[in-house]
Structure 1
Amino acid sequence: MSVLVLILAVSAACCLGFGFVLQQNVASHAPLSDFLSPRLLLDLIRVPRWLGGIGLMVCGMVLGAIALGKGEISLVEPLLATNLLFALALSRHQTKQPLGRQGWTGLVLLAGGVSAFIVAGQPQGGDAVADPLRHWLIIGVMVGLALLL
């Protein structure tokens, strides 16, 4: 397990989590008349905090892509899921609301689950044989399911 991959993945999760919260916070103050309207996007673009959230999310995606390029998906993806921990921490800080027993239980379960997954999986590098037919089959099935849903 590379320290660089670990730092990249956790940094990506932090950026994603903070970006989600900033965007949601600004959008929650938008007028209800703009709900599901293109006008909402025009209003949000004028708010620096919302643009900051977009910037953080783009940064998180780039860091996540770099981490995936340098490390194993079985290590990076669980770490990216920890963006929820960062989002919860910032959201709690902004709202000044106590987390409560359920919130703490959720935090512990998420952190413990990610840790257990990484320890049990023991991700290691290796060369995978890429079969183009298999990739297109998987893509086709996923697009088909998305269209069906």
Structure 2
Amino acid sequence: MSVLVLVLAVSAACCLGFGFVLQQNAAQRAPLNDFLSFRLLVDLVKVPRWLAGIALMVAGMALGAAALGQGELSLVEPLLATNLLFALALSRRQTRQPLGRQGWAGLLLLAGGVTAFIVA
């Protein structure tokens, strides 16, 4: 396992997770009457948080592609799945809500599953 592949894949997961949260946060604040209309996209393009989310998603996809180009699919894809951990961390920080028992259990199951898959 190359350190470069590990860094690229985890960086990609971080960018993807943070990008998801920023986009969702910006869309959540959009006017409800724009739901499922082209106007929603026009409104979101004016929101810096949404644009930052798009930029992070693009960077995450590029880093993920670079990781896949350098490493094996069986290593990179499980690491990319950890974007959920990064998304959860940022989301909880923004909302200041406690994670709770179920949240911690899900976090541990995901991290343990990815670790077990990579080790196997």
Smaller-chain TM-score bracket: over 0.9
RMSD across aligned C-alpha pairs, in angstroms? 0.3
For the residues of structure 1 that align with 2:105 and 2:29, how far apart are their CA atoms?
Answer: 29
Residues 71-104 of structure 1 show CA distances to partners (whole Å, capped at 9, x for unaligned) of 0000000000000000000000000000000000
CA–CA distance in structure 1, aligned partners of residues 8 and 53 of structure 2: 19
Tell me how far 1:25 sits from its aligned partner. Answer: 0.3
Cα distance in 2 between the residues matched to 1:115 and 1:106: 14
Residue 144 of structure 1 is matched in structure 2 by: none
Aligned to 2:98: 98
Question: Which residue number in structure 1 is paired with residue 113 of structure 2?
Answer: 113
Q: What is aligned with 2:20?
A: 20
Aligned residues: 120
Cross-structure match for 2:10 = 10
Larger Rg belongs to:
1
Aligned 1:1-149 pairs, distance under 5 A: 1-120=1-120
CA distance in 2, matches of 1:79, 1:41: 31
Runs of 4+ in structure 1 displaced over 6 angstroms? none
Distance 1:21 1:97 in 2: 15
Q: Distance in 2 between matches of 1:97 and 1:25?
A: 15
Unaligned runs of 5+ in 2: none
Shift of 1:19: 0.2
* Displacement after TM superposition at 1:36 (Å): 0.5
Rounded to whole Å, the distance in 2 between the matches of 1:96 and 1:31 is 23
Greater RCO, CA 8 A, separation 6+: 2
Structure 2 distance, partners of 1:115, 1:38, is 42
CA–CA separation in structure 1 for the residues paired with 2:97 and 2:31: 24
Local SS of the residue matching 2:36: coil
Percent same amino acid among aligned pairs? Answer: 82
Unaligned ranges ≥5, structure 1: 121-149
* Separation in structure 1 between the aligned mates of residue 2 and residue 15 of structure 2, nearest angstrom: 20
Q: Which residue of 2 aligns with 1:131?
A: none
Q: Deviations over 1:95-118 (max 9, x none)?
A: 000000000000000000000000
